[in-house]
Chains A and B, each alone.
Chain A
């Protein structure tokens, strides 16, 4: 460890406050190590060797109570790593050390102060010592100069303004567009008082695109949004991030859910086979207007996010599951066009269709090409049920185009969608061992399986003119998948609610609409009752989801939690390589075993761990165990 750093003289250009801090940290250093070891075995909420210095008295130790053991371990490690008391000092010592073993580590001085300042002001919060990782620019030429300036500047600012204004919180800068320069430009334009010119604009240069492996290593869960215990994130965890940073692209799922409901009620009202229900078109009108408003709100918010926090949007794009949601806005627009009430517009112009399909086409070219050309984002590695969102757009576009009377272009999209759907379907059914993203348990995301065949059947019926054999085959496949998921409903348990669940309701609605279309063709009591049942189920699900959403929004106030998935660091924390290598579903015995293995590491033990972390797909060789 970089233990030599702390013992050097305090940097002269820092105010006096620092030396006491340094001394305090130094005196507790050994204790920190001991307590980490103890905590590993005990794994309780032990008192952290308080790295919570305060400005006033360098000796008080604020006990940190962690919420769970993993947090303890995590923060322990973050504490132990950020040993060098003064980055500037470490810099003077050896420039390489600045990067603290070449990963995103902290600048303890200012952050510690920041923490203490924060804990003073927010007493209701759980004060935790978090050393916030700041992303280091890769390959930056003069890291030491950069850090120096950053520390200095931050420190000065903190001293001047201990009450932090969240908008001016520099920690979120790397996620802002052009690292916050755009925001400053906007403030300049609005005539706000100019802040101190950043001496270190280069500090928050663009982070390179994260390789997909990082997402798999750092996250877990069916939606890949839960941080693994061994990982750290580059943004503060205990603080609520700016709203835009917490606004994921999966929020478009709400629009998907509601607009598909609008289509369903329109179909119910206009189909001859459901005339006996006497549904009026008003429901469709109301729902359509609601979905229009919702879409506008969500789109505007996300556009703001793109403008102001482009880096966060980029990270979402590179997330193997969230990337599929980039199709969602266009699918929503297609749904809106499909569900437009007859009182609003009778016939839509064909050029609208071309406008709506162009973004889908471009996205497709990119994403399907990634699947095919291999590399880190090849399909056998990233296939997951959310990929259905990438495929369904083709079928929805074909359906809309055929409804508008276009002839050739809907067939084009149908063909492309069908070919790629076959590939995806087979891949998901195979559950390849190289596939890391498939949830092991049932999860609402599996309902997306129903989406593609049901919409494809409707599209084919529109293209051919009648609900013929091809449509029926597709519809029956959708029905079968629906039932095989519905009978397993009791296995859908124990999942954290997320906004993406809205996206999983539109397949149910799609299946109901397909059933209505089928009933139009084959009208008898069985099909009619089936359509009524499926429509009611869809409606109930959406209502339940609406209530849950409202509860989370207004009562629990956690509808938009911190979006951990975009804030993963781009390198595995070094200490984890030493102490653990947790993969999915680590067991306690494995933890202890690994701990004992690395309990007394050599000083140069780091090379042992990378070897041990052979990714699954490479470990099995090129055939990945298919020679059975």
Chain B
């Protein structure tokens, strides 16, 4: 039994611990007797935050592609993202009210960007589709239109709606919206659509400026993010790196603006890494929030790869190797932990709901 108290309008959810894992190849329908029961249980507990896993793996795929300049390692990523998307689609269809509840939560809504980002990254790293093909274009539209729709809704809310002002709802996961725009922009630039790329880029950067300042000011103190979700602070690293990559795609070379964005990201990484006490509490127990470490590191490694390719110095190469190794290491460790803790993937009665772990504050 757990009470989901995200906002006064929330309903009480009853969740039961389920022993399963989305990344295993064991199909759920092996369980004959309680098949439907099991599925609905999974769907109930599955939330958009699980797309962190998809995000990380897709970004890893892109990283490998960039590192090896062509070869693709995207099989696992493709499979995982596909599975996650299917599961979430089912959830939309069967439990729409829960999706709606997620949409209203100030942290959960940002993770609705995550699937589209994953797909866009997969698209960019895909070996099958060259950016010049028609299919690439179609897929780009398919993935970008939802991002734009979400943008209009969420950004509009920031400065118009009574209850969801930016100063109230701003939290590190809000940067996912910015990252979504930037991912769309970089994919568009690869296609050659400079204007669309620039459009999405400026949209993302304008809101990033506002968000960065708001988050740095910490108007409401550190109480807006539950302790268990502290790893999402790593998203501070992801946004400038993504911007750096997007500008790199738009302008063609890793010029000074991209370098500055990359350096900012590097500085934030060093700043967060030198504060381990921030994350101590959230590291006590495995949770899917741990996957939040992996994606930003991968994006940073990607940017450092592009930087090293441009600058070609010893230090740059050292940074690139270090960051890439770190991101791969972290992803592997996370996969290991996930495999070992499959029962924790769907938290049961013992743990609170995903976005309101603040009760353990």
Q: Are B271 and A434 touching (Cβ within 8 A)?
A: no
Assess whether B274 is interfacial by the CB under 8 Å rule: yes
CB-CB under 8 A for A623 and B168, given A412-B266, A412-B267: yes
The CB with the most chain A CB atoms within 10 A, among B215, B219, B274, B316, is that of B219
Q: Which residues of B, 223-264, contact A by the 8 Å Cβ criterion?
A: 223-224, 236, 256, 259-261, 263-264
Q: Is the CB of A416 within 8 A of B267?
A: yes
- The answer on a CB contact under 8 Å between B219 and A411 is no
Name the distance in Å between A487's Cβ and chain B's nearest Cβ: 28
Provided the pairs A378-B217, A412-B266, A416-B267 are in contact, do residues A626 and B222 lie with their beta carbons within 8 angstroms? no
Q: Is the CB of B212 within 8 A of A434?
A: no
B267 CB contacts on chain A under 8 angstroms: 365, 412, 415-416
Tally A residues with Cβ within 8 Å of B.
34
User: Majority SS of interface residues in chain A?
Assistant: helix
Q: Which residues of A contact B223 (CB under 8 A)?
A: 622
B263–A623 touching, CB < 8 Å:
no
Given contacts A622-B168, A626-B165, A374 and B218 within 8 Å (CB-CB): yes
- Of the candidates B165, B220, B256, B271, which one forms a contact with A372 in the assembled complex, judged by CB atoms under 8 Å apart? B271
* Interface: A422 (CB within 8 A): yes
**B271 and A622 contact, CB distance less than 8 A:** no
Contacts of A344 in B (CB 8 A): none
Proximity bits, A53-96, B CB within 8 Å = 1, else 0: 00000000000000000000000000000000000000000000
Instruction: State A423–B218 Cα separation when bound (angstroms).
Output: 11
Asked whether A422 lies within 8 Å of B218 as measured between CB atoms, the reply is no
B311 touches A408 (CB 8 A): yes
Chain B residues, CB < 8 A from A272: none
- Establish whether residues A416 and B264, one from each chain, have CB atoms under 8 Å apart when the complex forms: yes
Shortest CB–CB separation between residue A151 and chain B, in angstroms? Answer: 40
Judge whether B221 and A378 touch: CB under 8 Å: yes
Contact at B260–A415, with CB atoms within 8 Å? yes
**Are A432 and B271 CB-contacts (below 8 A) given A408-B259, A415-B261, A416-B264?**
no
- The CA of A427 and the CA of B313, in the complex, are separated in Å by 38
* B260 and A423 contacting across the interface, CB-CB below 8 Å: no
A414 in complex: contacting residue of B212, B260, B272, CB < 8 Å: B260
How many Å lie between the Cα of A614 and that of B161 in the bound state?
29
Nearest CB of A to B233, in Å: 8
A139 CB–B CB distance under 8 Å? no
- From residue 400 to 419 of chain A, which have CB atoms closer than 8 A to chain B? 408, 411-412, 414-416, 418-419
In angstroms, Cα B310 to Cα A411, docked, is 15
User: Is the CB of A369 closer than 8 A to any CB of chain B?
Assistant: yes
Interface residues in B247-295 (C-beta closer than 8 Å to A): 256, 259-261, 263-264, 266-267, 270-272, 274-275, 278
A612 to chain B, nearest CB (A): 22
Q: Could you give, for residues 377-393 of chain A, a 1 whenever the CB lies within 8 Å of some chain B CB and a 0 otherwise?
A: 01110010000000000
Min CB gap A399→B, angstroms: 16
**Are A432 and B263 touching (Cβ within 8 A)?**
no
In the assembled complex, the CB of B8 is this many whole angstroms from the nearest CB of chain A, namely 16
Size class of the B contact interface (CB-based, 8 Å): 35 or more
Inter-chain contact B216/A623, CB cutoff 8 Å: no
B83 at interface, CB cutoff 8 A: no
Q: Is residue B27 within 8 Å, beta carbon to beta carbon, of the partner chain?
A: no
Task: Confirm or deny: A371 has a beta carbon within 8 angstroms of a beta carbon on chain B.
Answer: yes
Question: In this assembly, does A368 line the interface, its C-beta being within 8 Å of a C-beta of chain B?
Answer: yes
A378 and B261 contact, CB distance less than 8 A: no
Q: Let me know if A369 and B271 touch, CB within 8 A.
A: yes
Smallest CB–CB gap between A305 and chain B, Å?
27
- Residue A373 lies at the interface, judged by CB distance under 8 Å to chain B: yes
Q: Decide yes or no whether B138 CB sits under 8 A from chain A.
A: no
Q: A369: shortest Cβ distance to chain B, in Å?
A: 5
Chain B residues whose C-beta falls within 8 Å of the C-beta of A373 in the assembled complex: 218, 222, 275, 278
User: Quick check: is B31 within 8 A (CB to CB) of the other chain?
Assistant: no
Contact A627 B162 (CB under 8 A): yes
A372 contacts B259, C-beta separation under 8 Å: no
B217, B220, B264, B278: residue with the most chain A Cβ atoms closer than 10 Å: B217
The reply to whether B219 and A624 form a contact with Cβ atoms under 8 Å apart is: yes
In the bound assembly, the distance between CA atoms of A416 and B218 in angstroms comes to 19
Separation of A378 and B215 alpha carbons in the complex (Å): 10
Within 8 Å CB of B263, what residues of A?
411-412, 415-416
- Contact A379 B168, CB 8 Å, known A368-B271, A369-B274, A412-B266: no
Q: Which residue on A lies nearest to B257, using beta carbons?
A: A415
B213 CB within 8 Å of chain A: yes
Task: Collect the chain B residues with CB atoms within 8 Å of residue A555's CB.
Answer: none
How distant is the Cα of A418 from the Cα of B257 in the complex, in angstroms?
A: 12
Shortest distance between the CB of B286 and any CB in chain A (Å): 23
Chain B residues lying within 8 Å of A463, measured Cβ to Cβ, are 256
Which residues does chain A contribute within 8 Å of B165, judged by CB atoms? 623, 626-627
List residues of chain B with CB within 8 A of the CB of A414: 260
The reply on A345 being an interface residue by CB < 8 A is no
- The answer to whether A432 touches B275 (Cβ under 8 A) is no
Does B92 reach chain A (CB closer than 8 Å)? no
Q: Does A197 contact B (CB under 8 A)?
A: no
A610 at the interface (CB under 8 A from B): no
Closest to A628 in B: B165
Q: Bound state CA distance, A427 and B278, in angstroms? A: 24
Chain B residue contacts of A423, Cβ below 8 A? 212-213, 216-217
- B168 near A427: Cβ-Cβ < 8 Å: no
Residues of B contacting A494 in the complex (Cβ-Cβ under 8 angstroms): none
A-chain residues with CB within 8 Å of residue B313 when the two chains form the complex = 408
Chain A residues, CB < 8 A from B168:
622-623, 626-627
Q: Determine how close the nearest CB of chain A comes to the CB of B248; give it in whole angstroms.
A: 15
- Tell me which of B216, B236, B315 contacts A379 (CB under 8 A): B216
Which of A383, A420, A423 counts the most B-chain CB atoms under 10 A from its CB? A423
CB distance from B209 to the nearest CB of A (A): 7
Contacts of B209 in A (CB 8 A): 422
CB distance from B50 to the nearest CB of A (A): 27
In the bound complex, do residue A365 and residue B213 qualify as a contact, i.e. CB atoms below 8 Å apart? no
Q: Which of B218, B224, B260 has the most CB of A within 10 A?
A: B218
A427 and B260 in contact (CB under 8 A), knowing A365-B274, A380-B218?
A: no
Of residues 581 to 628 in A, which have CB atoms within 8 Å of B's CB atoms?
A: 622-624, 626-627
B130 within 8 A of A: no
Cβ-based interface call for A375 (8 A): yes
A369-B275, A411-B256, A622-B168 are contacts. A375–B222 as well, Cβ < 8 Å?
A: yes
Ranked 6 nearest A-B pairs via Cβ: A374-B222, A415-B260, A378-B218, A622-B220, A415-B263, A374-B218
Seen from chain A, the residues whose Cβ lies within 8 Å of a Cβ on chain B are 365, 368-369, 371-375, 378-380, 383, 408, 411-412, 414-416, 418-420, 422-423, 426-427, 432, 434, 463-464, 622-624, 626-627
- B→A interface (CB under 8 Å): 162, 165, 167-168, 209, 212-213, 215-224, 236, 256, 259-261, 263-264, 266-267, 270-272, 274-275, 278, 311, 313, 315-316
Query: Other CB < 8 Å A-B pairs besides A416-B264, A423-B212, 16 of them?
Result: A371-B218, A372-B236, A374-B221, A378-B217, A378-B221, A379-B217, A380-B219, A383-B217, A408-B259, A411-B260, A412-B267, A415-B264, A622-B221, A626-B167, A627-B162, A627-B165
A-B contact pairs, 9 of them (CB 8 A): A365-B267, A408-B259, A411-B259, A411-B263, A415-B261, A432-B217, A464-B256, A622-B220, A627-B168
